[in-house]
Amino acid sequence: MAYISWDSQNRGVLRDVGESGAALQALAPLQVHQQIRFCLELSHPRARIEGDGRIAWTDSLGQAGLEFLDLPPRPGRLLKDWLLTQVLADAQRAAGDPQEGLLFSFTSRPAIRLQPASAQRQMRFFGLRVPVERFARIVDCLALLCAVLLFNVMALTMTDTLPTWPVAVALVLAVAGAFAGLYWFLFSLWFGVTPGRRLARLALYERGDHKSRAELRPRFR
């Protein structure tokens, strides 16, 4: 069931609707050439369309034909979209599909994951324009590299011995892995942001390109 109301008082039931007009069953008598301000309340999907119309014909049973007069662009597009949906739903029912309602696919489609706006922006780094995410990774890698080098220099100073190359390579790799795990746990899990990402956000803030945290999160549609 779909309804139509006009003059803020009278209501009726829609019997048919198209792009240029509608047929209705009115509860109160209407006069031919009478102009009204109507409101259509459609369903499946729900849509509310308002506009001006003229009564083109009436009969003794209370039925009337309504002609739309200069329907505004937005309600006009909304009505066309609703009519297209009904055509597709009718085609599905005519095909004998047991599923009730309009379906565009039989399997669920994965959501489209959009990249955050910050990942698409660029900033200057040593005179070069690099993406913000790449800049954040460079800063994090430099911080890890400095920590690993500092630890190895302190270890060599305290032991006052230079190990063989295989032992030195294995020691550097082990220290780098341990520092990387500690770095990720401390900043990503505990603080929620790494120094590189924090520095990139501060740089964007200084440039006036910052956005709220909600706007930088991945979006879904």
- The structural domains of the chain, with segments of one domain joined by +, span 3-94, 117-216
Q: Which CATH number applies to 3-94: 2.40.10.220, 1.10.150.120, 3.50.50.60, 3.40.50.2000? A: 2.40.10.220
Give the pLDDT score at 180: 82
Give the pLDDT score at 131: 76
Q: Angle, to 10 degrees, between the axis of helix 195-207 and the axis of helix 132-159?
A: 140
> Going by C-beta distance under 8 Å and a sequence separation of 6 or more, which residues neighbour residue 77?
none
User: What are the C-alpha distances in Å from 37 to residues 24, 30, 174, 218?
Assistant: 14, 13, 78, 43
As a whole number of angstroms, the distance between CA 17 and CA 15 comes to: 7
**What are the 10-residue block averages of pLDDT along the chain, 221 residues in total?**
80 89 88 90 86 91 90 89 86 66 60 59 67 78 82 79 76 82 77 76 60 46 39
Give the pLDDT score at 118: 45
Give the pLDDT score at 100: 54
**Which among 56, 43, 51, 60 has a CA at the least distance from the CA of 3?**
43
First CA to last CA distance, the chain: 30
Give the pLDDT score at 201: 73
Neighbours of 171 (CB within 10 A): 15
Please state whether the peptide bond connecting residue 45 to the residue before it is cis, i.e. omega within 30 degrees of 0.
Answer: yes
Q: What SS3 class is residue 121? A: coil
